[in-house]
Each structure stands twice: as structure tokens, then as C-alpha cells.
Amino acid sequence: MLLAKREYDNHPFPRFDLFHNRAFFEDFLPARAAGWSPAIDVSETDNEYRVHLEAPGVEKDDIKAELDEGVLTISGEKKNSTKDESNKRYIVERAYGKFTRKLRFNDIDSEKISATFNNGVLEVTLSKVEAAKP
């Protein structure tokens, strides 16, 4: 078997190392620049919908849930707890900022809605109208 070293200098295009060029990845990651979006689960039973939104580090008073014409809007803000600028930060991976999540429901009773917030998880229960129940 013959092994030959590949010469990149004679190639018509410059050598581009994809994994060492951070700017390449930053162009394709707009979500990081736009803030953050908490994870959400939606489940359905015969009588209701349940929405679970994970928002660790968000205070209860900083989350707002509204229902308007069948659209559930959950919005809030995760505030940066590190205000001391004298400390050097070497790694910052946690995301902060405002978020908004919207979900549309067609068959819910707007008078029978409940919400609880426990350990950073918001649970919204939306009861279905009688016509939508099996």
C-alpha cells in the first residue's frame, strides 16, 4: 500500500478547518444571540390539556401566562444573577433574558384554567369544552 502526504499548498482553494473556525458556527446559531427559550411539553387527556414549561432560575413573579382567543401565551424573564463585574468569568453557558412561548388551542373552556409553579416548572391545565370530549 502506498501512502502519500497530501499537499494543501498546491490546492486551488485555501485550506479551511471547519472545527477550528468558530465564526462559521456562530453564523448558524442565531438562537444563542436571540436569548433563550425554555423547554415545553404538551400532553392531552380525554378532558384536558397540560402544558409543562421548564424555567429553572426564573422567579414565580417573573412568569406570566395569558389566554386570548385560544392562544396561550407564556412569557417571562430569566435575570442574570451575576452582577459583580470585578470577578473574571471564564465560561458562561447559561442563557438569560426574556422569552415568549405561544400555543394555540381550539377546543378549551376559557373559564376552567389553572396554573401552578413549583421548583422552576410551570404547569398550566386547560379543560376541554364538552363538545370536544370523547
Phi-psi region at 103: left, alpha or beta (left = phi > 0; alpha = psi -120 to 50): beta
For residue 53, pLDDT over 90 is answered with yes
Give the 3-state secondary structure of the chain.
CCCCCCCCCCCCCCCCCHHHCHHHHHCCCHHHHHCCCCCEEEEECCCEEEEEEECCCCCHHHEEEEEECCEEEEEEEECCCCCCCCCCCCCCCCCCEEEEEEEECCCEEEEEEEEEEECCEEEEEEEECHHHCC
Note the pLDDT tens digit of each residue in 107-130. Answer: 898 889 999 999 999 999 999 988
Greater confidence (81 vs 3) lies with: 81
Note the pLDDT tens digit of each residue in 55-102. Answer: 988 899 999 999 998 899 999 998 876 666 677 777 777 788 899 999
d(CA 80, CA 94): 9
* Across 7-18, average pLDDT: 55
In the structure grid, which three cell numbers stand for residue 34, read together?
436571540
